[in-house]
């Protein structure tokens, strides 16, 4: 996609979000549910922007993998507690407070799949070593999952607005820890350019 500074429109992802993208990136999603960016020619590495996600059943021991966990809150604190206490995940970098973009304060951690994971579905290329993590019940028909040596560096923040809070996610997904290091370096300019809107208008509910 052309290098430049963009602002999402009223029907786009997080309306009014500002982001600067340098040369060498492509986008596979740019809609109300997600912005998904990839280094050119490396489609298996991703910079993902999400909001208002729900935790899902991580494994298929009871044939419910991917179902929304209604017992897990959708606040940043509740999701972080769930991520750090779920045995199907291995915490590779402990949660730490970080600031991204224009003073967006949140918590970041890195996780992989543990030995207890049991996806038990052919959709997992490393079956059974896959674990489902999140979905956006409002916009997605699928779930976000990782498998094998794949790792995810997940940043979660609370974006407070007069009409209600939203959870904001910045995730780096790479096939291995080594490739995550390179992806993080290449993504730094994009992540540091992020600007949340001064106000949030939920045009979809109108």
Q: Quick check: is 83 in a domain?
A: yes
Q: Quick check: is 46 in a domain?
A: yes
Are residues 150 and 113 in contact, defined by beta-carbon separation less than 8 angstroms? yes
pLDDT in tens, 52-89: 999 999 999 899 999 999 999 999 999 999 999 999 99
Q: Quick check: is 94 in a domain?
A: yes
Q: Quick check: is 159 in a domain?
A: yes
pLDDT in tens, 141-164: 999 999 999 999 999 999 999 888
Domain span at 11: 4-201
Total domains in the chain come to 1
Mean pLDDT of all residues in the chain?
A: 94
Give the DSSP letter string of 130-181. Answer: EEEEEE-TTT-SS-EEEETT-EEEEEEEEE--TT--EEEEEEEEESSHHHHH
pLDDT in tens, 20-52: 999 999 999 999 999 999 999 899 999 999 999
Read off the CATH number of the domain in which 175 is found: 3.40.1000.10
């Amino acid at each position: 996609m052309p290098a430049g500074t963009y602002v999402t429109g009223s029907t786009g992802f997080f309306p009014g979000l500002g982001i600067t993208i340098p040369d060498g990136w492509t986008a596979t999603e740019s809609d109300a549910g997600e912005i998904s960016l990839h280094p050119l020619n490396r489609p298996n590495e991703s910079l993902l922007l999400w909001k208002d996600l729900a935790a899902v059943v991580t494994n298929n021991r009871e044939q419910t993998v991917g179902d929304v966990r209604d017992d897990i809150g959708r606040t940043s604190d509740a999701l972080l507690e769930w991520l750090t206490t779920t045995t199907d995940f291995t915490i590779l970098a402990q949660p730490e407070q970080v600031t991204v973009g224009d003073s967006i304060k949140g918590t970041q951690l890195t996780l992989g799949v543990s030995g207890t994971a049991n996806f038990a579905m052919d959709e997992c290329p490393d079956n059974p070593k896959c674990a489902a993590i999140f979905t956006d019940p409002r916009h997605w028909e699928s779930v976000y999952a990782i498998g094998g040596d794949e790792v995810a560096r997940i940043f979660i923040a609370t974006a407070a607005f007069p009409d209600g809070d939203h959870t904001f996610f910045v995730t780096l997904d790479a096939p291995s820890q080594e490739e995550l290091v390179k992806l993080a370096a290449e993504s730094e300019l994009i992540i540091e350019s992020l600007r949340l809107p001064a106000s949030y208008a939920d045009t979809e509910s109108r």
